[in-house]
Amino acid sequence: MSIIIKKHVSTINNKTLGKTYGRVVHTETFSLRKFAQHIADHGSTYGKAEIYGMLMQICECLVEVCMDSKKVQLGDLGTFYMSARSTGEENAANFSMDNIKGLRLRFAPNQKREFPLDSVSNRKKAELRDLDTILGNSTTSGDGSDSGDGPVVVNP
């Protein structure tokens, strides 16, 4: 299990222009069915079908509750809530529901929970791998010479 990092050079015309940053590469998206199987494979007393049914119900109920202007906090994981995208009005009296352009279901991670990479000590516990190293590509520095960089961080 490892987190794959891809190097990305910023093209945004501000102070980040030309600087290299790391981005997480997602190798797969789990469907709800596959996620249910993953949970079942981790020693759950419930089968895949039962877990899938529960997850489907959770998804439906989560949206229903959020559409009623309520938030749903899922323990240490975080909170789901709705937000609105709207156009602005100079005068508040002129604002109407026509100004609402869209609704989004949002997620805010719990601030009290320490996620795996939030601290330097935990970052050392995770295995981070450089995509160029995985693919066998040489990484070059700005002057065109081989930088010889290996993985960003390998599990110590």
Model confidence pLDDT, tens digit, residues 89-145: 898 999 999 999 999 999 998 876 555 555 555 555 677 788 888 888 754 444 333
- The answer to whether the pTM exceeds 0.85 is no
pLDDT at 144: 37
pLDDT at 141: 41
Mean pLDDT computed over 81-89? 92
Backbone dihedral angles phi then psi of residue 138, each to the nearest 5 degrees: -80, 145
